[in-house]
Amino acid sequence: MADVVTQMAATGGKSLRQRQNATHIGIFLTLILLWELGALMGWLDPLFFPAPSAILTSFWRIYFAQGNIWYHLYVSLGLVFAGFTAGSILGIGLGAVVGMNGLVRRFLQPYVIVLEATPRIAVAPLLIAALGFGATSKIAIIMLVCFFAPFINTLSGVINVDRDRMELMRSLGASKLQVLRKLVLPEAVPVIMAGERLALTSALSGVLVAEFIQRDQGIGTLILTYTRNLNMASAFACILTLTLIGFLIFKGMEKLDHHIAYWKNEAGLRRVGAKRAQAWATAQRGQSNA
Amino acid sequence: MKMFKSLLVSTALAITAVPALAQDLTTVNMINPLPRSTNFFPLVVAEALGYFAAEGVEVNLLPSDTSIPYVAFVQNGQADLAMLDPVETVNARLAGANINTVFEVMQNAPEAIGVLDSSAYDSVDDLAGTTVGLVSDRDRAFLQASLDVVGKSIDDVQTVVLGESGPTLAAAIRDGEVSAISGAAPDWIALNANGINVRLITPQEMLSSPANTFAVNADMIEEKRAAIEGFLRAWNKGMYVAKVNPEMVAQALRLGVPAEWENEAAGQLFLDMSIGMNVSTTERLGDLQSDVWTALQPRLLSSGAIPELVDVGTFLNDTYIAAANDFDRAVVEAEAAAWLAANQ
């Protein structure tokens, strides 16, 4: 009987999900249709809203017929990941040091606040002037854009660790490393991961800023070329490509977050629990065989 | 098919680049406002024909927003050549920058003041009391000088920097938010190609102004002589091809900068306009016109674009021009024709 109820619930849940998906797709297609109609009838300004059919044609052209977007995408994504990695390492590393050391925090805090208040985009031309042209200065711009979210989140994750538990661990003679591994990191990781998600999506904005200033190559340069020539359909195709990449990055980071901070969600706990149980059982079997 | 051609050209470029690297090429770093573009077709054509590599030169383009101080990059050695306009050149000299202008890329100013074709504005004089859009801050000086020609000053108009975004420029002029736009050739081409017809009302006196001239660090003239002469010779060959074989230029651009040629008519219009600006009117290609620079400065001075006059002899330096023109025209013609036959 219980099986039947579970099965019915599962079937009901599935059909509800299907209905929801169908509704989403319906709304999306209606909006696109209205957009196309608006463009056809001249209700929408083609300078700002090119017809979806024109954007679709542009997708075909830049990806397949001409194939000119691939190289620019490759360049931009390379910069995004390099800048993100550098910004994350610096942000998490410095955040952890500042969070765990009151003295460092006292001295560094004012500089960090000033740096955070400084608009990063305004600093970009200065960074290029200081570091010269090429990938280094672009990566530095992206790094700067990516730095603060991991830094602030790591700092807050480390500072907001449960004091009572920390005192307990210390009174039981836990070393600093043990406190870090067993208490601080597990509590801070979900917050750090949230910062990483933010940083990776802002890295896309960072690469655009860098490429709008240094216009040699990359998706930002391509967008500039298209908008300068009023080829808005192709510019939209590039922008939608970035939107899709941003979405995929966000979803990917969400999955990674679930994987790393598994103790924060039910499914993760079950997965790791099952894995550990299996490992334990294997070890037991090995022992009894011996 | 186009993709296949692009791949073929890329592969060919990659293959030719390998022996070129083996030849130990000298890198010439050049800072300018645009990436490879129809607007500067001599570069694309010379690259397609392998002229830079043949001169032992590798071009490293540093296209940058005009918010970057180009002169500083020439002075600190990050750039060997900087594309400057006359106002930047004179102001840099006055600020003590030790630069020399060695080549005039464009002898007919690409800058212009455009109004909507259907508007009532017939001359710059009519713009008094209206709001004029600037594509970038650089265009303020050109507007100042143009207003000065008709006895007006920059204070007689309101100015607003619109930025380089095509839709913003197009909407601003189409919807009457600005009476005119002070910008450059690519801006007008995009508008005209998209059905927003623009009429240019630039004063005649401003049309012969040199633009996008190459400046170098005066201290490096001898040290960089071989590389820069080679670079300018290759550039001149690219420029010369447009005189004798514009179809080859168009095809090189279709393959080299496909993003500007998605609309064939717009690409061709862009090229026609760019040929007019890039092909030198002087006997020696890229030659320096000291009389034009001398005549230009009082206008820039009275418009406030420059604070004082500078003796052109202190910064115009034609030391590379003879060598840059020393090439066999017939060979270039034959090479361009052969390239076109192979790439059509």
Q: Is some CB atom of chain B closer than 8 A to the CB atom of A132?
A: yes
Task: Quote the minimal CA–CA distance from B7 to chain A in Å.
Answer: 9
Task: Quote the minimal CA–CA distance from A215 to chain B in Å.
Answer: 5
Q: Which amino acid is at A274?
A: A
> Looking at residue B92, what is its pLDDT?
94
> Looking at residue B8, what is its pLDDT?
43
Q: Is some CB atom of chain A closer than 8 A to the CB atom of B3?
A: yes
Nearest residue in A to B34, CA atom: A215
Provide the pLDDT confidence category of residue A236 given band limits of 50, 70 and 90.
very high
Q: At what angle do helices A232-260 and A185-213 cross, to 10 degrees?
A: 160
> Looking at residue B7, what is its pLDDT?
43
Asked if the model's pLDDT at residue B15 lies above 50, the reply is no
Query: Do B166 and A48 lie within an 8 Å CB cutoff?
Result: no
User: For B311, which DSSP code?
Assistant: -
Nearest residue in B to A131, CA atom: B78
In this structure, of A265-269, B317-321, B337-341, the range with the lowest mean pLDDT score is: A265-269
Of the candidates A125, A215, A229, the beta carbon closest to that of B266 is on A229
Provide the pLDDT confidence category of residue B322 given band limits of 50, 70 and 90.
very high
- Mutating which of B13, B39, B64 best tests the A interface, going by the most A Cβ atoms within 10 A? B64
The partner residues of B133 in beta bridges, in order of sequence, read B160, B181
- Mutating which of A228, A232, A236 best tests the B interface, going by the most B Cβ atoms within 10 A? A228
> Looking at residue A8, what is its pLDDT?
56
Asked if the model's pLDDT at residue B21 lies above 70, the reply is no
Asked if the model's pLDDT at residue A214 lies above 90, the reply is no
Q: Is some CB atom of chain A closer than 8 A to the CB atom of B81?
A: no
Asked if the model's pLDDT at residue B12 lies above 60, the reply is no
Q: Which residue has the higher pLDDT, A133 or B199?
A: B199
In this structure, of A267-276, B139-148, B325-334, the range with the lowest mean pLDDT score is: A267-276
Provide the pLDDT confidence category of residue A4 given band limits of 50, 70 and 90.
low
Question: What share of chain B has pLDDT > 90, as a percent?
Answer: 68
Of the candidates A68, A133, A214, the beta carbon closest to that of B259 is on A68
Neighbours of B327 (CB within 10 A): 17
Average pLDDT, chain B: 89
Average pLDDT, chain A: 88
> Contacts of residue B174 in chain A, CB cutoff 8 Å?
47
Instruction: Give residue A204's Cα distance to chain centre.
Output: 9
> Looking at residue A248, what is its pLDDT?
93
Asked if the model's pLDDT at residue B94 lies above 50, the reply is yes
Nearest residue in A to B190, CA atom: A229
3-state secondary structure chain A: CHHHHHHHHHHHHHHHHHHHHHHHHHHHHHHHHHHHHHHHHCCCCCCCCCCHHHHHHHHHHHHHHCCCHHHHHHHHHHHHHHHHHHHHHHHHHHHHHHHHCHHHHHHHHHHHHHHHHCCHHHHHHHHHHHHCCCHHHHHHHHHHHHHHHHHHHHHHHHHCCCHHHHHHHHHCCCCHHHHHHHHHHHHHHHHHHHHHHHHHHHHHHHHHHHHHHECCCCHHHHHHHHHHCCCHHHHHHHHHHHHHHHHHHHHHHHHHHHHHCHHHCHHHHHHHHHHHHHHHHHHHHHHHHC
Sequence-distant (≥ 6) Cβ neighbours of residue A131 within 8 angstroms:
A137, A140
Asked if the model's pLDDT at residue A220 lies above 80, the reply is yes
Nearest residue in B to A135, CA atom: B62
Sequence-distant (≥ 6) Cβ neighbours of residue B315 within 8 angstroms:
B89, B93, B99, B100, B101
Q: Which residue has the higher pLDDT, B272 or A130?
A: B272
> Contacts of residue A64 in chain B, CB cutoff 8 Å?
3
pLDDT digits (tens, 9 = 90+) for A139-186: 999 999 999 999 999 999 998 988 899 899 989 999 988 988 888 888
> Looking at residue B208, what is its pLDDT?
77
Tokens of B295: 């005549």
Query: Do B63 and A129 lie within an 8 Å CB cutoff?
Result: no
Provide the pLDDT confidence category of residue B17 given band limits of 50, 70 and 90.
very low
Asked if the model's pLDDT at residue B80 lies above 80, the reply is yes
User: For B76, which DSSP code?
Assistant: T
Q: Is some CB atom of chain B closer than 8 A to the CB atom of A221?
A: yes
- Mutating which of B30, B39, B60, B65 best tests the A interface, going by the most A Cβ atoms within 10 A? B65
- How far is CA A50 from each of CA A124, A227, A248, B6, B48, rounded to the nearest angstrom? 31, 12, 25, 27, 34
Query: Do B2 and A226 lie within an 8 Å CB cutoff?
Result: no
> Looking at residue A9, what is its pLDDT?
58
Q: What's the CA gap between A31 and B118, in Å, rounded? A: 36
> Looking at residue A13, what is its pLDDT?
67
Of the candidates A58, A66, A229, the beta carbon closest to that of B190 is on A229
Q: How many CB pairs under 8 A join A and B?
A: 102
Query: Do A222 and B259 lie within an 8 Å CB cutoff?
Result: yes
pLDDT digits (tens, 9 = 90+) for B245-274: 999 999 999 999 999 999 898 899 999 989
> Contacts of residue B72 in chain A, CB cutoff 8 Å?
129
Residues 237-296 of B with CB under 8 A from A: 258-260, 262-263, 266, 270
Nearest residue in A to B75, CA atom: A129
Question: What share of chain A has pLDDT > 90, as a percent?
Answer: 51
pLDDT digits (tens, 9 = 90+) for B24-67: 899 999 999 888 999 999 999 999 999 999 999 999 999 988 76
Q: Is some CB atom of chain B closer than 8 A to the CB atom of A167?
A: no
Question: What share of chain A has pLDDT > 70, as a percent?
Answer: 95
Task: Quote the minimal CA–CA distance from B74 to chain A in Å.
Answer: 11
> Looking at residue A267, what is its pLDDT?
81
> Looking at residue B187, what is its pLDDT?
83
In 3-state terms, what secondary structure has residue B221?
A: coil
Nearest residue in B to A217, CA atom: B35
> Looking at residue A7, what is its pLDDT?
60
Q: Is some CB atom of chain B closer than 8 A to the CB atom of A262?
A: no
> Looking at residue A264, what is its pLDDT?
76
> Looking at residue B123, what is its pLDDT?
94
Q: Which residue has the higher pLDDT, A21 or A129?
A: A21
Residues 13-72 of B with CB under 8 A from A: 29, 31, 33-35, 37, 61-65, 67-69, 72
- Mutating which of A138, A209, A229 best tests the B interface, going by the most B Cβ atoms within 10 A? A229
Provide the pLDDT confidence category of residue B219 given band limits of 50, 70 and 90.
very high
Task: Quote the minimal CA–CA distance from A179 to chain B in Å.
Answer: 49
Task: Quote the minimal CA–CA distance from B291 to chain A in Å.
Answer: 34
Tokens of A11: 């079937």
Mean pLDDT value across residues B171-185: 92
Provide the pLDDT confidence category of residue B13 given band limits of 50, 70 and 90.
very low
> Looking at residue A56, what is its pLDDT?
96
Mean pLDDT value across residues A112-137: 84
> Looking at residue B106, what is its pLDDT?
93
Nearest residue in A to B77, CA atom: A132
Q: Is some CB atom of chain A closer than 8 A to the CB atom of B178?
A: no
